[in-house]
Chain A
Amino acid sequence: MAHDDAVAVKEPQAPKESHARRWSGLGGGFIAKLLLMALVNALALTIIMSAWNAEAWAILTLSIVLIVAADIIYFAKRTLPLKYLYPGLVFLAIFQLFTLAYTGYVAFTNYGTGHAGSQQQAVEATLIQNERRVDGTPTVPLSIVRDGDTLGFAVTQDGIVSVGTEDDVLEPVGGAVVDANGRATEVPGWEVVSQNELFSDQDLQQAVIDLRVPVSDEAEDGSMRTRDGSSGAVYQSSIEWDDEAQTFTDKETGTVYYADQETGNFVADDGSRLPTGWSVTVGFDNFVRAVTDQNLAGPLLKVTLWTFAFAVLTVLTSFGLGLLFALIYNDDRIRGRKWMRTVFILPYAFPAFMSALLWRGMLNREFGIINDWFFFGADINWLGDPLLAKLAILWVNLWLSYPYWFLVCTGALQALPSETMEASRMDGAGRWRQFRSITLPLLMVSTAPLAISSFAFNFNNFTIIYMLTEGGPPFPGTSGLGSTDILISAIYNISGVSGGSADYGLASALSIIVFIVVGIISAIAFRQTRKLEEI
């Protein structure tokens, strides 16, 4: 109480002034906040500037909105709760809410290999792909020149050295020195890249091969390109883009390709199409394809069924085993229970991905010890046979997850009211009867929600599937899926994020289906726990 009085006397007028806003006195809080916000603003400014340079308007707008909001929130008085919520909300919005919404959008497009960007980008890509060396044009001596990050060509034509880059057309420069072959060795304002450096740098080689230096301001005239870094030639596109009519015309065959906005492709009358298209919305096509496509529908159905079977069986077996162990060892008469318990839960403490990889080695057909030690050296192809691979996955996941249920059930058993047990015993209930009618129902109250969330977790348990079998053994056909693939690993294969042909649209459509399943499961879980009512 004395302490209270002292404070009240010291600051009678303005006790509510926050130390983060106060200038008087030390003001340490305010200075710390000012420094932090200065840092954040500087960072945001850098991002805004590079977004401007990269012409990424969405990112630019978003950064401006976010930083203005941050400044308002942290310097205004009335935004107290947001001061605490804002950083978390920003991350949540960008890396979770946005990705969820974007999945929903991509699911209705044909985004993927061959449909990667806008129509504009598709036109440019097609023009570049169809560039051919112009017949009859001479090869000219060429050097690679550099100015900071900008690469360029210095070509010698009729004794005159011209320099150009991706953005600047070839222009003659004065004062250049050429060697016996006519290649420029010194160019004022540019650093000539030596052949040695070119040969030792893979990235640089690729950049040089990709570099196209326009010959003149007219795109028709083509561009200077090189294959070897020492000689160049003029390349022109064998195909012509008519912006008015939105058509490509093949200069050699005269075939006309129309821009088809339905499919995002350039299509000719005979049905042939150019390889590069653009991304368009395709409605429910991806969902329809998942159930009707001949190559895909069958495997996807099997994958879906196995996903459910895998999740349900994993929960049932590990819950069952964990509960059994908990019932057996929840007994005061056993000595060394604490010690036993620690060993029992070891598999849960061992990192899951390592366990899966370890079991992959142990289950190996040729040198795995499971075959050698427990099956007398039999040649059992655990991970290569569709049925055995499924069993192996269930077995390994049981090993991984029974300790969790053991711990949970032990805790739940110890929390059971002893009076109820006592009463049932007095009423003459046998052990089985007691378990069936009292222990199990009471146990389910506390463990059922956990079982549901465990189901949801295993429904998307990518790690164990991928580490153990990578979804294999593969189904016959070209689906690229396998007998142990669950939905998320199937999505991973289809999406092509790890290389290969990408189909982001279909992958996202399948993600949506997974979201729906998981959403329904969670909704059931919430009804169980009635969590919403507690808020």
Chain B
Amino acid sequence: MSEITAQAPARRNPSRRSRWWAEVGWKYPVAAIIIFYAAFPLVYVLSASLSSSGTLSSTSALFSDLSFSNYAALSDTSYWTWVWNTLIVGGASALGAVLMGACAAYAFSRFRFKGRRGGLTTLLIVQMFPQTVAFVSVFLLLTALGNVIPALGINSKIALICVYLGGALGANTFLMYGFFNTIPQDIDESAKVDGATHAQIFWKLIMPLVTPILAVVGLLAFISAFGDFILAKIVLVSQDQWTLAVGMYQWVSNQLSANWGLFSAGAVIASIPVLIIFLSLQKYIVGGLTAGSVKG
């Protein structure tokens, strides 16, 4: 095999340059087209956010004027309330998903109990049915709960967090279960011999070892809460409770009153942290996404 590879450069092509073009060179112009396709809308939204006209109008060229009036105008709207709401809802559901998922994965991975296999299978089946499709029942359930406990009713962030947490166990347990299984049992055993209790093993031994998967699950839970529209729109009714997805939709849904300037500025602010987190952790996220449906 090594002979062949060694021979390859020896077989010199007289027109090396044209061969380079045929095999590698053309990929650069194509890349330029792809980059344009991928980045054009994003560059455009950045430009629109810096324009002073407040529309997505095409009359002006990209970056024809640089004004921060749209950004300044955001503080006159409920935008920052929505950011705060999104952070609360996303953060709480991420934290809850991580804790509940880790606990469940620990139980399934480390304890042998009656119903373990059945429990895992049930989770697997339940996870196949997305909660969003049952939104009518979610609405009716929260209406009924709200009559008793207003904090768990329609128009409450806590209720929305609870709804998201309801889907957490099904979605995350498997991802974490697979990862927990990769931590050798011997570690637990030796800790147990040393007199550690199950809770000590969980908090002090296992949790630090599984931090990567905790981060992935937390991030995925946050992103899915951040991007959820249908449940958030049903649950959160009044403007001061909206998340970004609901609020920014309302900004531009009516064509006559659409405020694209505000939308662009808001989109830039909200997406930059997401872009940074995503791009810096892309390896883990894609790993997490794939592991969600292939082998854990």
Are A344 and B38 within 8 A (Cβ)?
yes
Task: Tell whether B194 is near chain A: CB-to-CB under 8 Å.
Answer: yes
- Asked, given contacts A4-B193, A344-B38, A522-B128, whether A408 binds B111 with beta carbons under 8 Å apart, the answer is no
B144 contacts the other chain (Cβ, under 8 Å)? yes
Say whether, besides A87-B103, A346-B39, A399-B41, A411 and B290 are in contact (CB < 8 Å). Answer: yes
Produce 1/0 per residue, B264-275, CB < 8 A to A: 100100110011
Task: State whether B166 touches A95 (Cβ < 8 A).
Answer: yes
489-506 of chain A: CB within 8 A of chain B: 491-492, 495, 497-498, 504
Q: Is the CB of A102 within 8 A of B121?
A: no
**If the complex has contacts A99-B131, A334-B27, A466-B229, are A349 and B274 also in contact, measured as CB distance less than 8 A?**
yes
A519 at interface, CB cutoff 8 A: yes
Query: B138 contacts A99, CB within 8 Å?
Result: yes
On whether A531 and B295 interact (CB within 8 A), knowing A11-B195, A92-B170, A411-B286, the answer reads yes
Q: Given A95-B167, A529-B293, does the pair A80, B111 have CB atoms closer than 8 Å?
A: yes
A446 CB-CB contact with B under 8 Å:
yes
Q: Which B residues, 23 to 50, have Cβ-Cβ distances below 8 Å to chain A?
A: 23-24, 27-28, 30-31, 34-35, 37-39, 41-42, 44-45
Separation of A355 and B42 alpha carbons in the complex (Å):
9
Q: Are A357 and B248 in contact (CB under 8 A)?
A: yes
Tell which of B130, B133, B289, B295 touches A404, judged by Cβ atoms closer than 8 Å.
B289
Task: Let me know if A449 is at the binding interface, CB within 8 A.
Answer: yes
Docked complex Cα distance between A466 and B245 (Å)? 12
Contact pick for A525, options B162, B199, B293, CB 8 Å: B293
- Smallest distance from the beta carbon of B198 to chain A beta carbons, Å? 6
Task: Return chain A residues, CB-CB under 8 Å to B116.
Answer: 81
**Is A106 engaged at the interface, CB distance under 8 Å to the other chain?**
yes
Q: Which of B38, B132, B136, B295 contacts A507 (CB 8 A)?
A: B136
A453-480 toward B: CB 8 Å interface, digit per residue (1/0)?
Answer: 1001000101100110010000000000
Give the distance to chain B from A311, nearest Cβ to Cβ, in Å. 13
Stretch at the interface among A139-147, A182-190, A323-331: A323-331
Residue B58 at the chain A interface, CB threshold 8 Å: yes
Distance between Cα atoms of A15 and B197 in the complex (Å): 9
Quick one: which of B160-206 are within 8 Å of A by CB? 162-163, 165-170, 173, 193-195, 197-200, 202
In the complex, are the beta carbons of A354 and B267 less than 8 A apart? Answer: yes
A504, B149: Cβ atoms closer than 8 Å: no
Whether the pair B57, A367 counts as a contact (CB closer than 8 A) is yes
Chain B minimum-CB-distance residue to A462: B230
Contacts of A346 in B (CB 8 A): 38-39, 42, 275
Residues of A within 8 A of B245 (CB): 353, 463
Contact B136 A504 (CB under 8 A): yes
A403 touches B126 (CB 8 A): no
Q: Is the CB of A18 within 8 A of B249?
A: no
Whole-angstrom distance between the alpha carbons of A531 and B194 in the complex?
A: 36
* Known A-B contacts A518-B129, A522-B128; A462 and B44 likewise in contact (beta carbons under 8 Å): no
Judged by a CB distance under 8 angstroms, whether B72 is at the interface is no
> B274: which A residues are within 8 A, CB to CB?
349-351
CB neighbours (8 Å) of B149 from chain A are 47, 50
Smallest Cβ-Cβ distance to A450: which chain B residue: B293
B249/A358 in contact, CB under 8 A: no
Task: Classify the secondary structure of B's interface with A.
Answer: helix
Contact with A along B187-231 (1 / 0, CB 8 A): 000000111011110100000000000000000000000111110
Which residue of chain A has its CB nearest to the CB of B107?
A: A84
Q: Report yes or no: B120 in contact with A99, Cβ–Cβ below 8 A.
A: no
* A360 at interface by CB-CB < 8 Å: yes
Known: A91-B168, A529-B295. A100 touches B139 (CB 8 A): no
Per the 8 Å Cβ criterion, residues 130-162 of B in contact with A are 130-141, 144-145, 147-149, 162
Is there a chain A Cβ closer than 8 Å to B242's Cβ? no
Q: How far is the CA of A319 from the CA of B73 in the complex (A)?
A: 41
Cβ A331 vs Cβ B130 within 8 A: no
Docked Cα-Cα span, A7 to B192, in Å, equals: 11
Most buried by B among A88, A106, A403, A497: A88
Q: Does B22 count as interface, using CB distance less than 8 angstroms?
A: no
Shortest B71–chain A CB gap in Å is 16
| Closest chain B CB from A324 CB (angstroms) | 10
Q: How far is the CA of A106 from the CA of B139 in the complex (A)?
A: 12
Report the count of interface residues on B (CB-CB < 8 A): 106
Q: Looking at the complex, which of A167-175, A256-264, A270-278, A508-516 is the stretch in contact with chain B?
A: A508-516
Known A-B contacts A100-B129, A361-B260; A87 and B111 likewise in contact (beta carbons under 8 Å): no
Question: Could you say which residues of chain B place their CB within 8 Å of the CB of A131?
Answer: none
Tell yes or no: A180 within 8 A of B by CB.
no
Given contacts A7-B194, A95-B167, contact A56 B101 (CB under 8 A): no
Check if A85 sits within 8 Å of B226, measured CB to CB. no
- Cα–Cα, bound, A348→B163 (Å): 26
Does A130 have its Cβ within 8 Å of any Cβ on chain B? no
Cross-chain contact B199 with A96 (CB below 8 angstroms): no
Give the distance in Å from the alpha carbon of A534 to the alpha carbon of B148 in the complex.
44
Q: Which of A119-127, A155-163, A219-227, A368-376 interfaces with chain B?
A: A368-376
Quick check: is B100 within 8 A (CB to CB) of the other chain? yes
Answer whether A426 and B226 are a contact pair too, CB < 8 Å, given A518-B129, A519-B129: no
Query: Does A76 reach chain B (CB closer than 8 Å)?
Result: no
List B contacts of A91 (CB < 8 A): 96, 100, 162, 165-166, 168-169
In Å, the complex CA distance between A364 and B1 comes to: 59
Residues of A bordering B, CB below 8 Å: 3-4, 7-8, 10-11, 15, 17-20, 29, 47, 50-51, 54, 56, 58-59, 80-81, 84-85, 87-89, 91-92, 94-100, 102-103, 106, 111, 325, 328-329, 331, 333-334, 340, 342-355, 357-362, 364, 367-369, 372-373, 399, 403-404, 407-408, 411, 422, 426, 446, 449-450, 452-453, 456, 460, 462-463, 466-467, 470, 488, 491-492, 495, 497-498, 504, 507-508, 511, 514-515, 518-519, 522-523, 525-526, 529, 531-532, 534-535
**17 further contact pairs, Cβ within 8 A, besides A354-B270, A514-B133:** A7-B195, A29-B197, A47-B149, A106-B140, A334-B28, A340-B34, A349-B275, A351-B226, A355-B41, A357-B263, A362-B56, A369-B56, A488-B133, A497-B135, A508-B136, A518-B128, A535-B117
12 A-B pairs with CB atoms under 8 Å apart are A20-B199, A47-B148, A54-B148, A84-B106, A99-B137, A358-B45, A358-B267, A369-B44, A466-B249, A488-B133, A495-B136, A515-B129
Q: List residues of B whose CB falls within 8 A of some A CB.
A: 1, 4, 23-24, 27-28, 30-31, 34-35, 37-39, 41-42, 44-45, 55-58, 96, 99-101, 103-104, 106-107, 111, 113, 116-117, 119-121, 124, 126, 128-141, 144-145, 147-149, 162-163, 165-170, 173, 193-195, 197-200, 202, 226-230, 233-234, 245, 248-249, 252-253, 255, 258, 260, 263-264, 267, 270-271, 274-275, 278-279, 282, 286, 289-290, 292-295
